[in-house]
Amino acid sequence: MKKIAIIGVGLIGASLGMALRRNGLASEVIGFGRSSQNLEKAVEIGAIDRFEATIREACVGAEIVVIAASLGATASILREVGAYVTDGSIITDVGSVKGSVVRDARLILGAKFDIFVPGHPIAGNEKSGAEAAIPDLFKDHKVILTPTSDTRIEAVNQIEKLWTELGSEVFKMSVESHDRALAMTSHLPHLLAYNVMNTLLRQDDSQLLLEFSAGGFRDFTRIASSNPELWADILLMNKENIVKFCGEYKNSLNSLTLALEASDRQRIIETFSSAKKARDSQLIVDKKR
């Protein structure tokens, strides 16, 4: 049983707190955030036991400190957390870009860098705030840890155990592999969803088009309801990988456009069939899990 501090009690932070408390994995869950209204909601729904007015107060006596705020705020939070945690504590995070976080942590934490376990639960949705918390958000979902050669193995083991006890499947990979994978499977899709939505809005009859949008459009653009500031930070912090994949996507789109212009039905079918086969195969894997 541990005292755990969660810095940033939004969808991920509040869901984590709720899961920890419901599974009896923490003696006390303390929250810190910018909005007192959101923190009060987190207490009301059982995501945290209480909240503190400063990061210092939240960290006092905490065995694990989870940074669940936006990526843009992570560096400044690391400065405060690093100043207040004891040597026996563990710091971890839930950010979806690891390269920038690990670089900042190494620079800011100094001698305490070895107690930092970079992490990322592959779970969430387009909603935000404590009121969107889901107690089993992480159950049967993947969590990626990207420890470095300097990270204490016992700290990694404790964070892996925590996620496993919440029903997650934990994977370890390099920072570079993580950021490349997420650029393709999460960051690029968000960029495309926002752009497709804006493309529609630029049409003179955009309201009519929206009125008759089908399920496919709604499903594809669902993630365009995500927090714009949060996603701007994510994309900028992983821009090298995303720019590369944007280039490859543009080449593929140009190829399909040329096939359409040439009425090349066979080429279109081959392109679609390849995508369908890969997607159907992944669905089979998902069902088995």
Q: Is the pLDDT of residue 175 over 60?
A: yes
Mean pLDDT, residues 249-275 taken together: 97
Task: State the pTM of this model.
Answer: 0.91
Mean pLDDT over all residues of the chain? Answer: 94
Residues 78 and 97 placed together within one structural domain of the fold? yes
Residues 166 and 183 placed together within one structural domain of the fold? no
pLDDT of residue 236: 97
pLDDT of residue 125: 83
Residues 73 and 216 placed together within one structural domain of the fold? no
Using DSSP's 3-state secondary structure scheme, residue 31 falls into: strand
Boundary residue ending a domain (173, 204, 224): 173
Mean pLDDT, residues 143-172 taken together: 97
Q: Is the pLDDT of residue 285 over 70?
A: no
Q: Is the pLDDT of residue 288 over 80?
A: no
Q: Is the pLDDT of residue 243 over 60?
A: yes
- Render pLDDT for 197-235 as a digit per residue (tens, 0 to 9): 999 999 999 999 999 888 899 999 999 999 999 999 999
Residues 16 and 122 placed together within one structural domain of the fold? yes
Boundary residue ending a domain (150, 173, 196): 173
Q: Is the pLDDT of residue 289 over 80?
A: no
Residue 7 burial class via C-beta count within 10 angstroms: exposed 0-12, middle 13-18, buried 19 and up: buried
Mean pLDDT, residues 161-182 taken together: 97
Angle of helix 239-261 versus helix 228-237 axis, rounded to 10: 100
pLDDT of residue 127: 85
Give the Å distances, CA to CA, from 90 to 28, 29, 176, 260: 16, 15, 23, 55
Residues 206 and 240 placed together within one structural domain of the fold? yes
- Render pLDDT for 177-196 as a digit per residue (tens, 0 to 9): 999 999 999 999 999 999 99
